[in-house]
Chains A and B, each alone.
Chain A
Amino acid sequence: MVNTSQENYLEYRGRFKGLMGWLTSTDHKRIGLMYMYAIMFFFIIAALLGLLMRIEKIAPGQTIMDAQTYNGVFTIHGIIMIFIIVIPGLAAVFGNFFLPIMIGAKDVAFPKLNLLSWYIYIAGAIMGILSQFIGGGAPDTGWTFYVPYSAESGTNVMFALLAAFVLGFSSILTGLNFIVTIHRLRAPGMTWFKMPLFPWSLYATAWIQVLATPIIGITLLMVIAERTLNIGFFDPALGGDPLLFQHLFWIYSHPAVYVMILPAMGVVTEIFPTFSQKPVFGYGAIAISSLAIALVGYFVWGHHMFTTGISYWSRWFFSFLTFIVAVPSAIKVFNWISTMYGGSIDLKPPLLYAISFIFLFMIGGFTGLTLGALATNVQTHDTTFVVAHFHYIIFGGMGFAFFAGIHYWFPKIYGRMYSNRLAYIAWGILFVGFNLLYFPLFVIGIQGMPRRYFDYLPQFQTGHVISSIGAFILVAGLVVMFYNLIYYRRKGEIASANPWKGVTLEWQIPSPPPLENFEEIPVIKDKPYTFDNKEEKASTGN
């Protein structure tokens, strides 16, 4: 281990010890981990709810729950997964932990605000959970809160709306913090184009968080006003327009997809060069494409409304731009693969997850184009085809990138190594389970199976049964992976400061990082991803 005069952040003891030491810590690394533990907790709940839905669908008719319960389950599954897990997800966990380290800073720009965002996040998450148990029963609107139903439903929609509002606030503050951090705290010599690509992706993400989230905030407030004050904006009886809600909702919620996926792209962009021992291919293209995705992604929201009767020209523009926004994503995929080409590839678990990220993300992306095309959209709209598509993007993309990231940075975060063997096994189970679970939904979706139904016609049973089997396999894979990570967090072999021979700044400091990251703020001279340790490289391969 590298000698250091500083305690590492895990052992550090400030004014308080134990749990209080964590809950009052403004250290970005601890806050990152606190996000991770909270996210893991909620992920287990939401994944189990997903499993319950799959069990319900193992046979036509009522299997384990009635229709109303099913409505409640898919609603809270969506709310937790979207607002509590994937939107904060990568940015809040790895962004908090590694953004300051990767740009050579001691912390984010506003550490106290950072801790405050975590508390706001927890408050929002608790409200989301509480919405299930108080008031007129679990919300049953779906996570999209479409009016007019969300304005009329007798269930506890208010609380869920408030929860989403509060969670949005937390997301805004994190984004704000990251933008200022990147502007003000880069190490001396680190110009914009010497910054690693994960921070670049976080920068683009943060702008979306700041500029899109307020729209959903005010929209949710309007629905609340609709329910409490009968204000009429979305109520046709009072002259309002339900479609206006869909416009406002998707003005935020489509960019939110990029809040989920951009950091995921950033994570795998870090992984490919390290495990190929080769500079990233097309650094500038990847950096700029993040910004391009953020910008164009702001103007494609209408592709969620093709079947609602919006104008011909607006369908034309939104469909066109949806195809345009695929271009920067494709550029990234091209660059990742080119990065690996001719490199000395070391297929460690992080790289394996990153490669499966590309595979699953591509399936999700191409089916996204199917949905973005006007004609095919009419056929597949609101079918399980859509469900499969966004699970390939969100779980296959963001989820697998998260798994890639945790396997990549685990030794840095905990200073220990997980079991490679278990990691490979878990990956195999997850990959098989994932595809078994979601691929059949494409097929029955095209055949006409609607989403959000608790019952179905017998002809869809084969697809549903395969899918449900996949769900069990996927959960088994998750169990193995979590066991591997949780157990070896304390019991694993001691990891060296740089087990993967990475070259970005986080690998230049001890594992786990000392409290203030750097004893001396580094001065940056080279571009990132400069691999010049030829002789060291020859002696790796363990």
Chain B
Amino acid sequence: MNTSTAHTDHYDPESSKIGMWLFLFTEMFLFGGLFLVYAVFRNKYSADFHHGAHELNAFIGTFNTVVLLISSMTVAMSITAIQKKNRKLAVNMIIITIVLALVFMLNKYFEWSYKFEYKLYPGSPVMMNLPQGEILFYGLYFMMTGLHALHVLIGIVLLVVNIFKIRSGKVHHERFSLLENSGLYWHLVDLIWIFLFPLLYLVT
């Protein structure tokens, strides 16, 4: 006789992948809302946004972009590795990805704390005295990079889970849906940063 769990356990990587993509769509629209707000205010306060972007450290931004791009490649490679039954390489690639993610977060931490040192954070008296467009620019900066950093953290947790699952043999060359989907999630984190980087650091 069938039990209620019998059919819930079946493995269909295609379903999971479509599900993951749909979830990524929702993430894109979540950030999309912020991009819309950015677009409206950038259009209204071009000069202030220009100035705000100039104040951000383009070097840190570029460095973090490079870090995330490399991490995106390593996570993609870990999937190739697991498909080729090379578990060790797969785990190592994930570990490199996590290390790069931590480097990204560390950089972010320094960048934020540098701002906080100058008492530049939402609602601070220093910020309230800036021109209106710059208040909005920094508001967007904190909200967008903050939400993005949250996604980086979630991504790290996902990747750690994958290491354990690969080690315990639950993720392997015939059953790597979890790794594939975590990879997709990680690429999305990268993808959003690719847009954030020029909008916040470069467009001056």
Contact: A214 with B122, CB < 8 Å? no
A132 to B122, CA, bound (A): 29
The verdict on A231 contacting B143 (CB below 8 Å), with A14-B4, A184-B12, A239-B136 known, is: yes
A176 to B27, CA, bound (A): 13
A177 to B22, CA, bound (A): 9
Specify which of B4, B15, B36, B132 is in contact with A248 (CB 8 Å cutoff): B36
Contact: A179 with B22, CB < 8 Å? yes
- Hey, what's the 0/1 contact readout for B30-48 against A, CB within 8 Å counting as 1? 1111101100110011000
B8: interface (CB < 8 Å): yes
- Hey, what's the 0/1 contact readout for A157-198 against B, CB within 8 Å counting as 1? 000000000000000100111011001100000000000000
The verdict on A222 contacting B143 (CB below 8 Å), with A14-B3, A230-B123 known, is: yes
Specify which of B40, B133, B143 is in contact with A225 (CB 8 Å cutoff): B143
Contact: B19 with A110, CB < 8 Å? yes
The verdict on A112 contacting B2 (CB below 8 Å), with A230-B123, A238-B136 known, is: no
Contact: B30 with A217, CB < 8 Å? yes
A215 to B25, CA, bound (A): 11
- How many chain B residues touch A (Cβ–Cβ < 8 Å)? 41
User: Which residues of A sit under 8 angstroms from B31, Cβ to Cβ?
Assistant: 218
Contact: A184 with B34, CB < 8 Å? no
The verdict on A214 contacting B136 (CB below 8 Å), with A14-B3, A515-B4 known, is: no
Contact: A229 with B133, CB < 8 Å? no
B23: interface (CB < 8 Å): yes
User: Which residues of B sit under 8 angstroms from A111, Cβ to Cβ?
Assistant: 8
- Hey, what's the 0/1 contact readout for A93-109 against B, CB within 8 Å counting as 1? 00000000000001101
A140: interface (CB < 8 Å): no
- How many chain A residues touch B (Cβ–Cβ < 8 Å)? 46
Specify which of A210, A230, A248 is in contact with B22 (CB 8 Å cutoff): A210
Q: Which residue of B lies closest to A237 (CB)?
A: B132
User: Which residues of B sit under 8 angstroms from A225, Cβ to Cβ?
Assistant: 122, 139, 143
User: Which residues of B sit under 8 angstroms from A244, Cβ to Cβ?
Assistant: 37, 40
Specify which of A175, A218, A230, A515 is in contact with B33 (CB 8 Å cutoff): A218
User: Which residues of B sit under 8 angstroms from A180, Cβ to Cβ?
Assistant: 15, 18-19, 22
The verdict on A515 contacting B25 (CB below 8 Å), with A218-B30, A230-B123, A232-B135 known, is: no
- Hey, what's the 0/1 contact readout for B110-143 against A, CB within 8 Å counting as 1? 0000000000001100001000110110011011
Contact: A515 with B2, CB < 8 Å? yes
User: Which residues of A sit under 8 angstroms from B63, Cβ to Cβ?
Assistant: none
User: Which residues of A sit under 8 angstroms from B18, Cβ to Cβ?
Assistant: 179-180, 183-184
The verdict on A239 contacting B30 (CB below 8 Å), with A176-B22, A184-B12, A231-B143 known, is: no
The verdict on A229 contacting B123 (CB below 8 Å), with A179-B22, A183-B18, A217-B30 known, is: yes
A240: interface (CB < 8 Å): yes
A487: interface (CB < 8 Å): no
- Some 10 contacts from A to B, beta carbons below 8 A apart, are A14-B4, A111-B8, A184-B12, A214-B28, A218-B31, A231-B143, A233-B37, A233-B41, A241-B41, A515-B4
Report which A residues bind B (CB closer than 8 A): 6, 12, 14, 25-27, 106-107, 109-113, 172, 175-177, 179-180, 183-184, 210-215, 217-219, 222, 225, 229-233, 238-241, 244, 247-248, 515-516
17 more CB-based (< 8 A) A-B contacts, given A213-B26, A231-B143? A6-B1, A6-B2, A109-B12, A179-B18, A184-B18, A211-B25, A214-B27, A214-B32, A215-B32, A217-B30, A217-B33, A218-B29, A225-B122, A231-B142, A239-B41, A239-B45, A239-B135
